[in-house]
Amino acid sequence: MTPAQRTMRASLAAHTRWAVEPDREKALQPARDGLLARFERQVDPDGVLPPAERARRAESARKAFYRSMQLKSSRARAARRGASGTA
């Protein structure tokens, strides 16, 4: 299977799943909880911070993570523009 075919297959599976899901919010809650726990472990691996401080730091770690993804995406788009010769 080519990479494009794998992408199409994955997209088909995702659309099929979400077409029958009655409550997306509830279905995605475990993923959101897991991601938050990841950032909390990152900023407080020993679990010694007060909950409010841990949450504040985890939110900053989450924002930093998404900003780094934005930067990588921006650089990739710029590289593609440069490679294609268009601005």
Domain that holds residue 65: 3-84
Report pTM.
0.70
Share of the chain above pLDDT 90, in %: 93
Domain count, the chain: 1
Look at residue 1 and tell me whether its pLDDT is greater than 60: yes
DSSP symbols for 13-55 = HHHHHHHH-S-HHHHHHHHHHHHHHHHHHHH-TT--S-HHHHH
